[in-house]
Amino acid sequence: MKKILLATTTVAAITALALSGCAGGREEAPEAGGDGGFAADSLIGVALPDKTSENWVLAGGLFEDGLKEAGFEYDVQYAGASNAVKDQQDQISAMVTNGAKVIIIGAKDGGQLGTQVQAAKDSGAIVIAYDRLIVDTENVDYYVAFDNFKVGELQGEALLEGLAAKFPDKKTYNIELFSGSSDDSNAPVFFDGAMKVLQPKIDDGTLVVVSGQTDIKQTATAGWKPENAQSRAETLLQGSYSGKDLDGVLSPNDTLARAIITAVKSDGRDVPVVTGQDSEVESVKSIMAGEQYSTINKDTRLLVAQAIEMAQTLQKGEEIATNSDEYNNGVKVVPAFLLDPVIVTKENAADAYKNDPKLSPLTK
């Protein structure tokens, strides 16, 4: 299956802090080389999209601490809440001007950074796309992320498993589908992964999307904003569920999952099976309380550590090992290092978070 732009990936094996990966049974992609290295105290730029998710907030602090510990000068920036794309463009341009040797970019809109990454390449900087692929440009060198197609597959599997467990006497289930923001290149990857699992069950009648809204354009949530998800959920309930039960919801992340649950409860209904992603504190609490059914654990600590390790490897002038050659950004195949996501439900939460000092106490 193609990726984005297209979507399937390999599974990377993670050892806690060693961060070594394998190709999950596929041939490992060719290693890409460094450019002779650079000074150990060079500037590393990190451009992050926003603070709408706990994981983005956590990532900023981890980058600052980790780059400092590694001996680099660093500039970690978030795009502003308004005019965020231009903010990020300006921030990346400033990093180029200030001589950054590596620029790590969690894109606000991966399709609108062509000019900035061209300038970065012209200056001799290495560009690493972090978590979100930068598309339609040849000037991105590496991609580091969790296996986002696998994330979607896990969400689809969790929805089916949750429905079977919650409604053992039902043969068909009423569901609705939500996807992420259309300006996020990950959103279609998550959705395509989930639909690989769910579409056969929709086709055979096991799953019924009562609203009929199955296209990603219909299911998108602008800006990943919870108020947009809540509003759409309320509209769906009022327009399609008079006298009908809502059994399950595919939600692409935890913030939207909680907004959907709020809409359902406000309508006086029982909470359906709802998926999520990101292991946010409030959603882990909700899972342990028996409301939200599942989340995906994508340990930000590991992802940031991998990105910093890549910068250190480049500083030494050494080759970066990658484990996927399947992420085509529309212009080129971007060498990628992928980490492995983990599905979390109430049953395995204690084990999944046993090494996480923030989340482990919530599972007791």
Domain extents in the chain: 43-147+299-340, 149-297
Rounded CA-CA distance 122/284 in Å is: 44
Rounded CA-CA distance 364/350 in Å is: 7
* Beta pairing class for 126-130 and 102-105: parallel
Helix (H, G, I), strand (E, B) or coil at 198: helix
Length reported for the chain: 364
* Beta pairing class for 173-177 and 207-209: parallel
Rounded CA-CA distance 103/84 in Å is: 18
Radius of gyration for the alpha carbons in the chain, expressed in angstroms and rounded: 21
Q: What are phi and psi of 314, to 5 degrees?
A: -65, -40
pTM of the complete model: 0.81
Secondary structure (DSSP) of 144-160: EEE-HHHHHHHHHHHHH
Q: For the chain, give percent helix, strand, coil, nearest 5.
A: 40, 15, 45
Share of the chain above pLDDT 90, in %: 86
Rounded CA-CA distance 183/134 in Å is: 11
Tell me what the pLDDT averaged over the chain comes to. Answer: 90
Q: What is the pLDDT of residue 167?
A: 97
Q: What is the pLDDT of residue 197?
A: 98
Q: What is the pLDDT of residue 21?
A: 35
- Please say whether the beta carbons of 46 and 63 come within 8 A: yes
- Please say whether the beta carbons of 202 and 209 come within 8 A: yes
Q: What is the pLDDT of residue 160?
A: 98
Q: What are phi and psi of 316, to 5 degrees?
A: -80, -5
Helix (H, G, I), strand (E, B) or coil at 126: strand
Positions in the chain whose pLDDT score sits under 50: 1-35
Q: What is the pLDDT of residue 25?
A: 31
Torsion angle in degrees (nearest 10) through CA of 225, 229, 232, 238: -140
Helix (H, G, I), strand (E, B) or coil at 185: coil
Q: What is the pLDDT of residue 78?
A: 96
φ/ψ region of 8 (left if φ > 0, alpha if ψ in -120 to 50, else beta) reads: beta
Identical fold for domains 43-147+299-340 and 149-297, yes or no, is yes
Q: What is the pLDDT of residue 29?
A: 36
Q: What is the pLDDT of residue 75?
A: 98
Rounded CA-CA distance 21/282 in Å is: 31
What is the CATH class of 149-297?
alpha beta
Looking at this protein, which amino acid is placed at residue 198? L
- Provide CATH code, domain 43-147+299-340: 3.40.50.2300
- Segment 245-258, tens digit of pLDDT: 999 999 999 999 99
